[in-house]
Chains A and B, each alone.
Chain A
């Protein structure tokens, strides 16, 4: 039962060839490049959505922070499209892999922190000690703030991995339960089916929300450091 349940999270490889690279590449096919002055409907829609999201997300930053706009926009599009495509049956979701999420979170977080260190050294070091702390508490508080700083990338990666994995697992389990119950007691199977529908709607929301949260947090770390 355990082997079967986690089978959809094994990285797809075919005879040693990385099939997973093609899977990770696939969402970028759904975002065509805009070549002309007036584009087709799909590209115009995506461009409008991109403008909406970028205005909402980058308006809090100063000039230096807004240079990250391209990075953050491609991040939210990548995570959102990957999560949504993972809701199709029998598909592999790359964001369930801890490796990929760590690979996204650590460089982005480190980039924000190092930018802060290089440009505003005193202000970024001052983040370790909140204002108005009583003097005897200072050493302990510095240790706590350091730990909370270093846990940020790990939290980013694990949050995304755990949310998407848990959602997929629940869908598998409840779907399997519905199927098994159909021959035993149809009414219960119907109730379970309704639960499955609600869960799928939740998963659609979670797919997009997780993308948003990831990007928002990176943008917050950036805001602290620019």
Chain B
């Protein structure tokens, strides 16, 4: 049986290593699987600005406790 002739085994195994572990994996790793496009809400929510209430307190001199 020619498959049992071990003189060619090294060539076979090395070429298989090259193709399977390097070339195929490089090719497949370059595939990009993108998400489907989703709707984004156009209304931006109101930001919580805690300094608005405090601004008047600090910067209005007549209300400062002196």
What is the interface of chain A, defined by CB distance below 8 A to chain B? 6-7, 9-11, 13, 18, 20-21, 24-25, 27-28, 31-35, 37, 47, 50-51, 70-71, 73-75, 77-78, 94, 96-100, 102-104, 161, 165
B25-43, CB < 8 A from A: 25-34
Given contacts A9-B1, A97-B3, contact A104 B16 (CB under 8 A): yes
Contact status B31-A78, CB under 8 Å: no
Cβ of B33 to closest chain A Cβ, rounded Å? 6
B20: chain A residues at CB < 8 Å are 74-75, 78, 104
Given contacts A51-B33, A98-B4, A161-B3, contact A25 B12 (CB under 8 A): no
Contact status B31-A50, CB under 8 Å: yes
Contact status B15-A24, CB under 8 Å: yes
A96: chain B residues at CB < 8 Å are 3
A37: chain B residues at CB < 8 Å are 32, 34
Interface size on B, residues (CB 8 A): 30
Given contacts A70-B28, A97-B12, A100-B13, contact A25 B23 (CB under 8 A): yes
B63 within 8 A of A: no
Contact status B24-A78, CB under 8 Å: yes
Indicate which residue in B8, B13, B26, B28 contacts A103 across the interface (CB closer than 8 Å).
B13
What is the interface of chain B, defined by CB distance below 8 A to chain A? 1-6, 8-9, 11-20, 23-34
A73: chain B residues at CB < 8 Å are 28
Q: How far is the CA of A94 from the CA of B50 in the complex (A)?
A: 71
Contact status A21-B11, CB under 8 Å: yes
Cβ of B42 to closest chain A Cβ, rounded Å? 24
Cβ of A120 to closest chain B Cβ, rounded Å? 25
A18: chain B residues at CB < 8 Å are 11, 15
| 14 sample A-B contacts, Cβ–Cβ < 8 Å, listed by A number | A6-B2, A11-B11, A21-B18, A28-B19, A31-B24, A35-B30, A37-B32, A74-B25, A74-B27, A74-B28, A97-B12, A98-B3, A98-B4, A99-B9
Identify which of B5, B11, B18 gathers the most chain A CB atoms within 10 Å of its CB.
B11
Contact status A20-B25, CB under 8 Å: no
Contact status B33-A47, CB under 8 Å: yes
Q: How far is the CA of A77 from the CA of B21 in the complex (A)?
A: 12
Q: How far is the CA of A35 from the CA of B24 in the complex (A)?
A: 15
